[in-house]
Amino acid sequence: MSRYRGPRLKIINRLKTLPGLSKKTPNRIIEKSGKRKHSKPPKPSKYPVCLKEKQRLRFHYGLTERQLLQYVRIARRANGPTGQVLLQLLEMRLDTIIFRLGMALTIPGARQLVNHRHILVNDRIVDIPSYRCKPQDLISIKDQQRSRNIINKNIDLSQRDKIWVPNHLNLKKKKKSQYIGLVKKIVDSKRISLKINELLVVEYYSCRV
């Protein structure tokens, strides 16, 4: 699957903080006096605003343009508000679930764990990052020391940085330092940590679906 391999800080500076893409934060523009530079930007038209929200969503979840367009089409056919359904579809992807559980520090990192067959869903290896998880799915780690070491280190770093597991998921520690995640329910789109106006994304694609 193709994915973005370019400079991530450049994307973050343009689109603001994207925790799924990278832990880096935007650079601040500082004047020589040490004060932050303030300049009133021109009022943007609606299209650039919609485009920016779409780009933020795409880079956060690590999707290609074609993949995101397909998710929008699925959301439009489903029952419920298109924007909310779209966010729920993206949040229930296996790579996003791994990231939310703290087993990976970023979504690209979670995708790599899945591709390298470190992750089990209901005791079966799943190597498809876009696999759609369902309520009561159990997410566990392959019974190999290398797999456990990688994921345990990521979980320790997430807990150190006080990145807590959202309430639609549950993470428990079993014997032998084995962690097991549980998908308790479909995520509530209002509780997604990424602050984004999904209606602008839907509006951007309204003429294409």
Could you tell me what percent of the chain has a pLDDT over 90?
Answer: 58
Residue 186 pLDDT > 80: yes
pLDDT in tens, 71-106: 999 999 999 999 999 999 999 999 999 999 999 999
> Does the pTM of the predicted model rise above 0.85?
no
Q: How are the residues of the chain apportioned to helix, strand and coil, as percentages rounded to the nearest 5?
A: 45, 10, 45
pLDDT at position 4, please? 66
Residue 28 pLDDT > 70: no
Residue 135 pLDDT > 80: yes
Average pLDDT, the chain: 85
For the chain, which residues make up each domain, given as ranges?
A: 8-27+43-90+194-205, 94-183
CATH architecture assignment, domain 8-27+43-90+194-205: Orthogonal Bundle (1.10)
Residue 114 pLDDT > 90: yes
Residue 30 pLDDT > 50: no
Residue 184 pLDDT > 80: yes
pLDDT at position 69, please? 94
Could you tell me what percent of the chain has a pLDDT over 70?
Answer: 85
The answer to whether the beta carbons of residues 111 and 101 sit under 8 Å apart is: no
Whether CATH 3.40.50.1370 fits 94-183: no
Average pLDDT over residues 42-52: 79
